[in-house]
């Protein structure tokens, strides 16, 4: 094959964007960009292809969610805008997980179609999840967890007795794919009596709730999430 060559294509771009502080350290932003790369003809005959005329005009629109770490000014003498107070009516949390994996060449005399390749291999997965919560009414809350997932497990998880990377089961894409992993409404009916403080956390709004309560959850979610998060019953001891 002929050697690969880089082809530069000059042009210009213009755009506009807005960023707004919404809660604590969180901001949201929207950005529009127009990209104009001038008309050009590429001669691809040395690759066995005809000449190609291109005139790219690209419109892009981006939505973003940003989190500012720390409260130290970026440079001396700066006077950053104070953070907004944390809201008890809604919250935002996020996490990202990057898992690289690799192994060297191994002896594999009976290698088959579904075997782990004997020549060695390196793979990675990358997932990013947002945890969005809104207070709808007294005792009513809505949670939404969109997730971006990209990458592959070793040999696409074939050739091993178990999954060495649990993230690979939901990735499996060359480019990031977005999936609505969880969305549900939670209604809590307090039964009165003693209350407890609830800390702000992923899929949990800060506030107070009755210790004795009935909770109804409707939506798309994994049952194990709530079974693992449910605290053990408290015991009371009386002495005389």
Tens of pLDDT, residues 209-219: 899 999 999 99
Instruction: Please indicate whether residue 149 or residue 76 has the higher confidence score (pLDDT).
Output: 149
pLDDT band for position 32 (cuts 50, 70, 90): very high
pLDDT tens-digit readout, 214-238: 999 999 887 766 655 555 444 343 4
Q: Is 162 helix (H, G, I), strand (E, B) or coil?
A: coil
The pTM of the full predicted model, rounded to 2 decimals, is 0.63
**pLDDT reported for residue 111:** 84
In this structure, what is the dihedral angle of CA atoms 52, 57, 63, 68, given to the nearest 10 degrees? 80
Q: Which residue has the tokens 């949990």?
A: 204
Measure the CA–CA gap between 17 and 27, rounded to whole angstroms: 13
- Mean of the per-residue pLDDT values for the chain? 79
Q: What is the pLDDT of residues 64-92, one digit of tens each?
A: 877 777 665 555 555 555 566 667 788 88
What residues pair up with 90 in beta bridges, in sequence order?
Answer: 134
* End-to-end Cα, the chain, rounded Å: 91
């Amino acid at each position: 094959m002929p050697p690969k060559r880089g082809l530069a294509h000059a042009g210009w771009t213009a755009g506009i964007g807005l960023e707004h502080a919404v809660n604590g350290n969180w901001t949201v932003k929207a950005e529009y960009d127009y990209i104009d790369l001038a008309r050009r003809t590429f001669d691809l005959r040395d690759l066995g292809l005809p000449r190609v005329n291109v005139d790219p005009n690209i419109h892009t629109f981006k939505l973003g969610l940003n989190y500012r770490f720390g409260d130290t000014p970026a440079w001396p003498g700066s006077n950053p805008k104070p953070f907004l107070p944390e809201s008890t009516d809604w919250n935002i949390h996020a996490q990202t997980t990057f898992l690289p994996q690799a192994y060297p060449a191994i002896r594999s005399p009976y290698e088959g179609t579904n075997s782990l390749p004997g020549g060695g291999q390196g793979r990675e997965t990358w997932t990013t999840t947002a945890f969005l919560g809104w207070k709808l009414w007294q005792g009513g809350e809505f949670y939404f967890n969109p997730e971006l997932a990209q990458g592959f497990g070793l040999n696409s998880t074939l050739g091993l007795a178990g999954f060495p990377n649990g993230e690979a089961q939901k990735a499996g894409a060359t480019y990031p794919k977005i999936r609505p992993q969880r969305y549900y409404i939670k209604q809590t009916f307090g039964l009165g009596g003693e209350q407890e403080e609830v800390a702000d956390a992923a899929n949990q709004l800060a506030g107070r709730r009755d210790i004795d309560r009935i909770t109804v959850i409707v939506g798309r979610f994994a049952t194990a999430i709530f079974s693992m998060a449910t605290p053990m019953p408290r015991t009371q001891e009386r002495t005389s």
